[in-house]
Amino acid sequence: MLIPLALAQFICSFAGSNMNVMINDISKDLDTTVEGVQLAITVFLLVMAALMIPGGKLSNRWGRKRCFTLGLSIYAVGAVISALSPSLGVLILGNSILEGVGTAMLIPPVYILTTLFFHDVTSRARAFGAISGMGGVGAAAGPLIGGLITTAISWRASFIFQALVIVTILLLTRRLQDPLPPDPNSRPDTSGAALSAIGLVLVVMGIQAAEVSGWLTLALVTLGAAFLGWFVVHIRSKERKGEEPLLSTQLFRNRTSNLGLVTQNAQWLLMLGTAFVVSAYLQVVRGYNAIQTGVIFTAATAGILLSSFGAERFAKRRKQRTLIVAGFITATAGIAVLLALVAGPPGVWAFAPGLFLIGFGSGLMMTPSVNVVQSSFPEDQQGEISGLSRAVSNLGSTFGTAIAGTVLVADIADGNHSYALAMVVLGVAGLIGLVAAAFLPSEHSPVTAPAEEQGSAPALV
């Protein structure tokens, strides 16, 4: 039952990081630049983040399995178009748009179904450990697998690999049953989806415009914030009218969940930001090819595998807050190690210790962060919180690539200086996540009954 769900998370995370090792190859083949490849990666992550909440709502209306299979199909079409793309524009259509839309439709059902299938904290930790662990492995192994395929065949073959994995998942889901019937009375909030998407797009565009003009960045970020503020006013208005908004404001009244969302955002910002910055630095500044860059990232993959495989044992022995705090401390220490490399000309394996620490720390906190958020709400709100949780995580990935990547790319010719600044940015994100994790309650009891039956919003323990 978990195999297709875990594979789906793996391939979506893989797609978010495997292009990092293809920067030089794609740039030459499609006659574009490092900034062009960064744009394609960022748009992919942004589309996922912007549409993840509507994807969670659609899973309630259409059914979780139907959304899952439809999302997989759209993703597969995007992968094939990407493999055949003659230009950057077509690559953005296939990879950034279609694969992003497909991911936004298929990922919320993964976490909703997992929450519905498993009820106690330990079994959920095991299930989320498998899924989140595969997500982490996909993100960390993306550079290695992408590098191997790119060097042995072509960067285009990497997208064919993704399509083949999707076909495998579709075959495995034939007997997967949806434990809840679809709710045809659920109406999508298209206005809310548009406002939130426009706001997020403008904010990310503003960040990437920093290398062009500070005033343009300020204008775009301010306009994006205005649209997001309009979105908040919109959903509150719909709630007062008794209508169903895109996102219930009740989701933000749970302190434990809010802190958990901050940790999710920070950990993916740190992990995907590091993947892009180190990959771009190694290829553009140090002159490494795709396979050399991918091999270096095996250290991060090993770290994630080691900590993810111990998720169930860790959950039994340590509190979730302890694991998240320990994860951020370890990952931030890894950033410090990578930052120290600018002091001299490091060998190829000098990056391994820092990447291992980031991978181990990410795997250590990934499962408890997801479990804290998902378990804070009853079954009737799993569609919303799953969409919000995945949106926040993917927004972290987007910010990691956009912010740290922009700092690096803005003056990549300067080499070590721009690399150091980008790593400092990622280190600050790790510290923010650490502070949020420290304020999580020491114990957390999952909510199993609808809020109405409890007489109030989900309790905090």
Confidence class of residue 460 from pLDDT cuts 50, 70 and 90? very low
Angle between helices 352-374 and 121-152 (to 10 degrees): 140
- Dihedral angle computed from the Cα positions of residues 398, 402, 403 and 404, in that order, rounded to the nearest 10 degrees: 100
pLDDT given for residue 456 in this prediction:
28
For residues 309 and 296, the model is more confident at 296
Neighbours of 252 (CB within 10 A): 13
Per-residue pLDDT, averaged over 270-290, amounts to 83
Least confident of 101-110, 339-348, 381-390, 439-448: 439-448
Maximum C-alpha span of the chain: 63
Whose CA is closest to 24, among 273, 289, 272, 208? 289
Q: Does residue 54 carry a pLDDT above 90?
A: no
Angle between helices 34-62 and 99-117 (to 10 degrees): 50
Q: What is the mean pLDDT of the chain?
A: 81
Residue-wise pLDDT tens digits, 156-214: 999 999 999 999 999 998 888 777 777 777 677 788 888 888 888 888 888 877 767 77
Burial 184-204 (b: 16+ CB within 10 A, else e): eeeeebeebbbbbbbbbbbbb
pLDDT given for residue 348 in this prediction:
65
pLDDT given for residue 457 in this prediction:
27
Q: Does residue 216 carry a pLDDT above 70?
A: yes
Least confident of 136-140, 207-211, 247-251, 308-312: 308-312
Least confident of 91-105, 213-227, 305-319, 353-367: 305-319
Per-residue pLDDT, averaged over 150-158, amounts to 90
Q: What percent of the chain has pLDDT over 90?
A: 20
Per-residue pLDDT, averaged over 232-244, amounts to 87
Q: What percent of the chain has pLDDT over 70?
A: 87
Please tell me the number of Cα atoms within 13 Å of 420 on its side-chain side: 9
pTM score, whole prediction = 0.76
pLDDT given for residue 44 in this prediction:
86
Taking the C-alpha atoms of residue 257 and residue 261, their distance in angstroms, rounded to an integer, is 6
pLDDT given for residue 445 in this prediction:
46
pLDDT given for residue 383 in this prediction:
62
pLDDT given for residue 331 in this prediction:
93
pLDDT given for residue 160 in this prediction:
94
Q: Which of 90-94, 123-127, 211-215, 319-323 has the highest mean pLDDT?
A: 90-94
Q: What is the DSSP string of 250-282?
A: GGGG-HHHHHHHHHHHHHHHHHHHHHHHHHHII
H or E segment and range at residue 408:
helix 405-410
Query: Are 8 and 65 spatial neighbours (Cβ–Cβ below 8 Å)?
Result: no
Q: Does residue 308 carry a pLDDT above 90?
A: no
Least confident of 313-327, 355-369, 383-397: 383-397
For residues 47 and 185, the model is more confident at 47
Q: Looking at domain 2-175+246-441, which of 2.60.40.1930, 1.20.1250.20, 3.40.50.11290, 1.10.3720.10 is its CATH number?
A: 1.20.1250.20
pLDDT given for residue 111 in this prediction:
79
pLDDT given for residue 453 in this prediction:
31
Least confident of 127-136, 295-304, 376-385: 376-385
Per-residue pLDDT, averaged over 77-103, amounts to 93
Q: Which two tokens stand for residue 119?
A: 């009820």
pLDDT given for residue 449 in this prediction:
37
Residue-wise pLDDT tens digits, 401-456: 778 777 776 665 566 777 888 888 899 999 999 999 999 887 654 444 333 333 32
